[in-house]
Amino acid sequence: MHLLFWLYIVALLSAAAAVAITCFVQAQHHTPVARLFALCTAALLLITLSLVLQHYALLHLGELRYRFSVFALVVMVAGSAGLVGTAPFLYHELFGRSVGLPLRLAYTCLATVFLGLAVSLFFRSGSLSILIALNLMLFGTVGFGIVYMIVRYRLIGDRRLRRAVRVVVAVFALFTPLIVLDAMLMRLPLPPVVAAFEGTILPTFLLIANVLAIRFASTYLNEPPYVVGGRISCSFRSTYDVSLREADIIGMIVEGKTPRQVADALMISAGTVEDHLYAVCRKTSVKNPTQLVNLIREHRGCDISPSRGTPPARDPSRARA
């Protein structure tokens, strides 16, 4: 039990470090994805803190154990509700996708229902149906993110983001069955050597998740976005040696214009636009203009959306075919 408590303490310290680093990154760059990532790490910090409080109550408290456990439950509800309410938006923002009004309403309703069920739990203490519903919603939110990452994987332009997605999916694929198995084994009589390590899978998972969050925030998020003020940034140009003309063309494509519309706006031929597009594709090591647009959109939470009424960017390779 003491080993488990101190393992949760280490996980809590790593969660606090993840929140601090992510907030620092948000203060430096003010990107939507950094803000949402900071909120998710803060929610994970509250969940970890709740588990620490629960184990502290079991180890050190007597008559105050019940009240302390209720406080830990409040912290758990706050963290879980925060995760359910912000994680779906983070998934979209991380890949440069805007959240439309229908999805925004759906995610908000999900968080509201979760919070309502959590509050009702205090009036119906120990209700198994409410606990099952809350866990399904919480793990369903996380599962939705994993599925979303897998579906979007082939469209990711940034190689580091692709690597981060692979690591996250692998960690969840490894630990999910282990956490379930560990929870089942805690109800069975085990040899003393094995029993000493029971329940350690969850804090180990939280520790690894926080370490990954620290690395992701301090490296991938801690850079300026590729679009600033509606224009391709100097960071993108210097990173990939992109000329001003290429940056102008790419900026219009990211806004949603077709190569023909770009050609008309710049008074050049459509073939020249396509040549510039594929030149930038080679410089950025992406396969096609679609991945190039995704690379720019998803990078550090740039905020560019196709203007209303403007058709989405067309893959010039299809036009040539």
- What domains, with CATH codes, occur in the chain? 2-219 (1.20.1070.10), 227-320 (1.10.10.10)
Q: For 253-257, what is the mean pLDDT?
A: 86
Q: Decide which of 289 and 207 is more confident.
A: 207
User: Is 304's pLDDT higher than 70?
Assistant: no
pLDDT of 320 reads: 37
pLDDT of 63 reads: 62
Q: For 183-198, what is the mean pLDDT?
A: 65
User: Is 26's pLDDT higher than 60?
Assistant: yes
pLDDT of 303 reads: 45
Count of positions (residues) in the chain: 321
User: Is 289's pLDDT higher than 60?
Assistant: yes
Q: For 5-17, what is the mean pLDDT?
A: 93
pLDDT of 99 reads: 84
Choice among 156-165, 218-227, 304-313 with the minimum mean pLDDT: 304-313
pLDDT of 67 reads: 75
State the Cα–Cα distance between residues 107 and 291, nearest whole angstrom.
Answer: 27
CB 88 within 8 A of CB 110: yes
Q: Tell me: the pLDDT tens digits for 100-137?
A: 889 999 999 999 999 999 888 877 766 788 888 998 99
User: Is 167's pLDDT higher than 60?
Assistant: yes
Q: Decide which of 311 and 30 is more confident.
A: 30
pTM: 0.75
